[in-house]
């Protein structure tokens, strides 16, 4: 009786142990598998951040774009890989009571303008034509490198647009519009030339969902702040500055992004939940049917951050040491010593000749 | 009285009818075509049929191999048959190699791996190549020209050591790019060590042992092919070149991610000194570049223009805090934190302002006194010998630890002379890896002499040029095809004449490059492929192609209606009236009847 009980216990323990070891082995294998399968195939990240409205009362659009810029920079994308287009200058606007700042939270809690903002397209350069040229790469040859989107087929691109929009269009600079069909065609041209690996398109305007309805190129994921027929609302006015500081959707996105660090594993499904209708009043929408991977396997840092793939260098090549080394080293030391004498500027002005008549008497004075 | 009045109104009515008809005729016959012609987008004619023909292009890569037989290397009756030419052709299974190296799962990949190992030594190849929507096929053709050895070659190959033989053989002729010469020495010659069957030299020469056998030519031919493959074209070379064009495999190893082919490259060497108070670092970068880097780059000069610059950055820290390892009392950077090192540093490098060519950054980091010595650990926790890591398509970082003996006597800041040879060994190795010049896969029992003093053998350069030519052709073909597809899909793109001429030039260059590759002229094929890529990119990215005139249908109506409606309505109404009256006048005679 006791023996059989003991035996049964032994067997169950053994079975449990086997199961555990098998499970852990399988789990580690599965982990390797999942790591390999769900890793995105990108090697670099780009971001195109566009604010399309001008005038002081559209302060919130500039603040929206700058807060996304700030998050993207904090998570690692360098300025050389960010194309920032701001249609108006709010920080140095004459109506700004706090010059050189752009706040996103009231009571001046967070200055998103910071110290090192690099705006690539500013004020009147933000046009539909320039935006499409940046996306498709059809830029005149004289354009400087910082104004180009030099992405390749392994780049993940984040495109953020904000401003005033309507059903099927987005207004640029109060004078022209970009339609959703033009945008879809621009993305198709990017896809044909393999200028992106995956694209995340975020738009914060009224009726934003209409802008992503017409996309037809693969590997695009889109988020919008409101559905067709709804308006996106702004968040909070600041009495000191006198305008609304941020839009609701981007405000909550910024809060969400502030908790992400370069090593975090948060995925896109969490981003879809940001700003539910109770907070945002409009219903944010998203579109993932063109995207190949499952959104829950897409990390936020795949688009907002820039994690490089690195490899350890394990090999070296054999170089022959240069025998002329010693001589050159001596020569260099000798040259260094020569230069130890204090250096002085060359005579800048022939002062003595200018003040010709006073040369004799006041020579010392002239030659300070 | 009424009659002339009636006749007058009749005349007027007739005139009115004629006028209306005339207006309508002018509007329809002249106006409509004129409007159509002036509002169509200008498209210069493009060679669409030739572009679609490029898709089905059969690329043949020919490697001319000269096989030189010395006396006694093969039986004399076999020697009677010399000289003749043998061609060995096989199709390259590009898709296959990517499966085996990525370790992906699934039954098809298991079967393919199994079948490859079984068929390792035999040419039959199971898989064809599919490329996205392009059906580009690649055939590799080794054209072996067998001949007898000349006198000076016999003499050279009977010398004692390999080096002497090589110096003697190298004198008379210069080998063309892409071609190889294989010398067959007697079976028991002492030129090679006893157990080695073949030898691969740093120039385009190799040595293989002959055999006294009936089937001498076949056996020797197979050995020659093995050696020639190692020195020129193997599947991984081409697969790496075409990695961006093959459909799947996003999760294949990133090791095979060499730099994309470009007309030129910019190489920047940066010295990062985060602690100038403690270390006064000097590096003789100009001398090092002159001694070590320039020879390497001039050996590579066929692959593009290179420009080198250097800078020193003070107070530049890495983005990651190193951890302290009490066991070795040193600091270390774990392997998983390495990806986060590059980003904070990159913004200070200033590489983006330099040029439009891709930039390769090589950073030498001298750690601060508080974090010295600093080692990089690999995944298993062991310190890396080179203390360096690299990132594909970006560059490399090496950590240089100051010799602790330097701190003993002197006060801070300590003068540090960087040992440029050690540094350049690592940087040049990283440069090779970044270019995709991997260690060659040698056949069994093969002796490899090692690279020349520049760090690059000429046949490695040839491999790079083969890979680049194929990559350029693939890029040019996909660019032209996607341009043609775009023009079909979006009707508002304008094609000006100069864009059309670029397209013609690109198509001609692709065809020329394919011809040159098929005839084995590597250098001219490479230049033609570069021209093809530049022309096709220039055509695709021409600023004039941008369609700004997109009019959705409702906007088209909104623009045309105010213009055409006021004109069209009276004409249409008068036409209707004329038609009705004519019909009435036809019916009238019937009625009377």
Q: Catalogue the active-site residues of A.
A: 164, 206
Mean pLDDT of chain B: 78
Q: Which residues of chain A from 189 to 218 reach within 8 Å of chain B, CB to CB?
A: 189, 192-194, 197
**Tens digit of pLDDT for each residue in A320-360?**
766 544 444 444 554 555 556 777 777 777 777 777 755 45
Residue B305 has pLDDT above 80, yes or no: yes
B293 secondary structure, DSSP code: I
What is the pLDDT confidence band of residue B139, given thresholds at 50, 70 and 90? Answer: confident
- Picking from B132, B316, B340 by the largest number of A CB atoms within 10 A of its own CB, the best residue to mutate is B340
Question: CA of B448, closest CA in chain A: separation in Å?
Answer: 14
- Other Cβ atoms less than 10 A from the Cβ of A209: the count is 25
Question: Which pLDDT score, from 0 to 100, does residue B264 have?
Answer: 87
Q: Of the candidates B263, B256, B260, B272, which has an alpha carbon nearest to the alpha carbon of residue B311?
A: B272
**Tens digit of pLDDT for each residue in B320-336?**
888 888 888 889 888 88
Scanning every residue of chain A, which has its alpha carbon at the shortest distance from the alpha carbon of B477?
A193
Question: CA of A189, closest CA in chain B: separation in Å?
Answer: 7
Question: Which pLDDT score, from 0 to 100, does residue A15 have?
Answer: 66
- CA pseudo-torsion sign B304, B307, B312, B315: negative
**Tens digit of pLDDT for each residue in A123-156?**
899 999 999 999 999 888 888 888 999 888 888 9
What is the pLDDT confidence band of residue B553, given thresholds at 50, 70 and 90? Answer: low
> In B158-208, which ranges are continuous DSSP H helix?
162-170
Instruction: List strands edge to edge, sheet with B388-391.
Output: A311-312, B388-391, B395-399, B359-365, B264-273, B305-314
- E-only strand ranges, B127-224: 137-148, 180-185, 198-200, 205-209
- CA pseudo-torsion sign A54, A55, A58, A59: positive
Say if A262 is an interface residue toward chain B (CB within 8 Å).
yes
What DSSP letter does each residue of B61-118 carry, written as one string?
EEEEEEEEEPTTSS-HHHHHT-SEEEEEEEE--HHHHHHHHHT--SHHHHHHHHHHHH
Say if B291 is an interface residue toward chain A (CB within 8 Å).
yes
Look-up of token digits 């700042």 = A101
Q: Which residues of B touch A44 (CB under 8 A)?
A: 393
The arithmetic mean of pLDDT across residues B147-163, rounded, is 77
Question: Which pLDDT score, from 0 to 100, does residue B120 have?
Answer: 37
Question: Of A185, A194, A320, which has the smallest distance from its Cβ to B453's Cβ?
Answer: A320
Q: Which residues of chain A from 291 to 310 reach within 8 Å of chain B, CB to CB?
A: 306-310
Say if B244 is an interface residue toward chain A (CB within 8 Å).
yes
What is the pLDDT confidence band of residue B3, given thresholds at 50, 70 and 90? Answer: low
Q: Which residues of chain B from 384 to 423 reach within 8 Å of chain A, CB to CB?
A: 384-386, 388-394, 396, 398, 421
**Tens digit of pLDDT for each residue in A70-111?**
999 989 888 888 999 999 999 999 999 989 999 988 777 888
Q: Which residues of B touch A292 (CB under 8 A)?
A: none
Scanning every residue of chain A, which has its alpha carbon at the shortest distance from the alpha carbon of B292?
A319
What is the pLDDT confidence band of residue A317, given thresholds at 50, 70 and 90? Answer: confident
Question: CA of A74, closest CA in chain B: separation in Å?
Answer: 9
Q: Which residues of B touch A128 (CB under 8 A)?
A: 548
Scanning every residue of chain A, which has its alpha carbon at the shortest distance from the alpha carbon of B481?
A192
Scanning every residue of chain B, which has its alpha carbon at the shortest distance from the alpha carbon of A323?
B291
Scanning every residue of chain B, which has its alpha carbon at the shortest distance from the alpha carbon of A183?
B550
Residues forming beta bridges with residue B269, ordered by sequence position: B310, B362
Does a cis peptide bond (omega within 30 degrees of 0) precede residue B83? yes
Say if A182 is an interface residue toward chain B (CB within 8 Å).
yes
Question: CA of A347, closest CA in chain B: separation in Å?
Answer: 30
**Tens digit of pLDDT for each residue in B12-66?**
888 888 888 888 888 889 988 898 888 777 788 888 888 888 877 778 888 888 8
**Tens digit of pLDDT for each residue in A250-289?**
999 999 999 998 888 899 999 999 888 888 889 999 999 9
Residue B531 has pLDDT above 90, yes or no: yes
A161-175, A309-323, B395-409 — which is least confidently predicted?
A309-323
Tokens read off for B216: 């001498």
SS3 A200: strand
Task: Please give the residue that has the higher pLDDT: either B297 or B100.
Answer: B297
Please judge whether A185 and B490 are an interchain contact, meaning their C-beta atoms are less than 8 angstroms apart.
Answer: yes
């Amino acid at each position: 009786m006791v023996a059989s009980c003991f035996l049964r216990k032994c067997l169950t323990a053994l079975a449990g142990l086997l199961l555990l070891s098998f499970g852990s082995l399988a789990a580690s294998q599965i982990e390797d598998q999942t790591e390999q399968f769900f890793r995105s195939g990108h090697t670099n990240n780009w971001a195109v951040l566009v604010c399309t409205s001008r005038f002081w009362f559209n302060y919130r659009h500039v603040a929206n774009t700058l807060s996304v810029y700030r998050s993207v920079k904090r998570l690692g994308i360098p300025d050389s890989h960010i194309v920032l287009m701001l249609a108006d200058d709010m920080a140095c606007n004459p109506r700004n009571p706090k010059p050189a700042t752009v706040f996103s939270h009231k009571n001046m809690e967070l200055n998103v303008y910071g110290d090192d903002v690099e705006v690539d397209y500013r004020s009147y350069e933000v046009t539909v034509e320039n935006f499409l040229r940046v996306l498709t790469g059809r830029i005149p040859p004289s354009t400087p490198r910082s104004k180009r989107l030099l992405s390749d087929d392994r780049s993940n691109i984040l495109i953020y647009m904000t401003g005033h929009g309507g059903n099927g269009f987005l207004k640029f600079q109060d004078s022209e519009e970009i339609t959703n069909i033009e945008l879809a065609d621009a993305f198709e041209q990017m896809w044909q030339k393999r200028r992106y690996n995956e694209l995340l398109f975020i738009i914060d305007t009224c009726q934003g969902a209409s802008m992503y309805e017409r996309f037809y190129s693969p590997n695009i994921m889109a988020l919008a702040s409101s559905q067709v027929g709804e308006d996106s609302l702004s968040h909070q006015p600041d009495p000191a500055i006198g305008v609304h500081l941020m839009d609701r959707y981007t405000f909550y996105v910024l809060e969400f992004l502030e908790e992400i660090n370069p090593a975090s594993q948060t995925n896109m499904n969490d981003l879809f939940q940001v700003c539910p209708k109770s907070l945002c009043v409009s219903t944010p929408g998203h579109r993932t049917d063109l995207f190949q991977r499952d959104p829950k396997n897409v990390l936020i840092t795949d688009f907002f951050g820039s994690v490089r793939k690195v490899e350890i260098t394990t090999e070296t090549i054999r170089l022959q040491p240069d025998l002329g080394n010693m001589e050159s080293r001596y020569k260099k030391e000798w040259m260094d010593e020569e230069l130890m004498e204090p250096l002085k500027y060359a005579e800048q002005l022939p002062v003595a000749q200018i003040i010709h008549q006073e040369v004799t008497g006041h020579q010392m004075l002239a030659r300070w | 009285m009424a009659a002339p009045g009636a006749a007058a109104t009749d005349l007027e009515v007739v005139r009115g009818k004629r006028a209306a008809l005339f207006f309508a005729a002018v509007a329809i016959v002249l106006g409509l075509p004129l409007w159509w012609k002036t509002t169509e987008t200008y498209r210069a004619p493009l060679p669409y049929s030739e572009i679609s023909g490029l898709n089905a292009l059969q690329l043949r890569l020919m490697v001319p191999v000269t096989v030189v037989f010395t006396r006694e290397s093969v039986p004399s009756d076999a020697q009677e048959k010399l000289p003749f030419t043998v061609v060995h052709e096989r199709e390259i299974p590009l898709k296959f190699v990517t499966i085996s190296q990525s370790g992906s799962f699934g039954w098809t990949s298991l079967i393919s791996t199994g079948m490859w190992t079984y068929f390792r030594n035999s040419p039959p190849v199971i898989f064809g190549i599919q490329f996205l929507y392009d059906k580009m096929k690649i055939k590799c053709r080794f054209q072996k020209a067998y001949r007898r050895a000349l006198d000076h070659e016999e003499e050279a190959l009977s010398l004692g050591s390999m080096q002497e033989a090589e110096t003697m053989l190298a004198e008379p002729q210069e080998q063309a790019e892409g071609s190889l010469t294989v010398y067959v020495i007697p079976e028991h010659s002492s030129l090679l060590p006893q157990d080695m069957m073949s030898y691969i030299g740093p120039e385009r020469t190799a040595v293989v042992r002959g055999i006294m056998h009936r089937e001498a030519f076949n056996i020797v031919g197979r050995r020659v092919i093995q050696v020639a493959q190692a020195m020129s074209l193997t599947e991984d070379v081409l697969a790496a070149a075409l990695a961006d064009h093959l459909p799947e495999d996003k999760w294949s190893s990133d090791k095979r991610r060499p730099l994309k082919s470009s007309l030129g490259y910019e190489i920047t060497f940066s010295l990062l000194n985060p602690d100038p108070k403690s270390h006064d670092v000097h590096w003789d970068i100009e001398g090092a570049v002159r001694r070590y880097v320039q020879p390497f780059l001039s050996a590579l000069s066929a692959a593009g223009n290179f420009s080198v610059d250097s800078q020193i950055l003070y107070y530049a820290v890495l983005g990651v805090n190193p951890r302290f390892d009490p066991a070795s009392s040193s600091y270390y950077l774990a392997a998983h934190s390495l990806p986060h090192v590059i980003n904070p540093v990159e913004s200070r490098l200033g590489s983006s302002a330099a040029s439009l060519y891709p930039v390769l950054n090589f950073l030498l980091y001298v750690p601060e006194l508080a974090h010295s010595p600093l080692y990089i650990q690999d995944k298993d926790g062991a310190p890396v010998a080179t203390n360096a890591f690299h990132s594909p398509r970006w560059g490399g970082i090496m950590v240089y630890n100051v010799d602790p003996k330097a701190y003993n006597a002197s006060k801070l800041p300590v003068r540090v002379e960087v040992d440029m040879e050690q540094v350049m060994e690592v940087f040049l190795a990283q440069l090779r890896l970044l270019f995709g010049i991997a260690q060659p896969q040698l056949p069994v029992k093969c002796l490899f002499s090692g690279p020349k003093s520049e760090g690059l053998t000429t046949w490695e350069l040839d491999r790079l040029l083969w890979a680049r030519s194929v990559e350029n052709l693939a890029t040019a073909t996909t660019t032209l095809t996607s341009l043609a597809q775009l023009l079909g899909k979006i009707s508002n793109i304008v094609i000006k004449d100069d864009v059309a001429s670029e397209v013609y030039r690109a198509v001609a260059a692709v065809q020329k490059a394919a011809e040159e590759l098929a005839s084995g002229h590597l250098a001219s094929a490479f230049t033609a492929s570069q021209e093809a890529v530049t022309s096709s990119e220039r055509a695709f990215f021409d600023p004039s192609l941008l369609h700004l005139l997109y009019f959705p249908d409702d906007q088209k109506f909104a623009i045309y209606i105010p213009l055409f409606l006021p004109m069209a309505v009276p004409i249409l109404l008068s036409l209707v009236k004329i038609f009705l009256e004519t019909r009435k006048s036809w019916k009238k005679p019937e009625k009377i009847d």
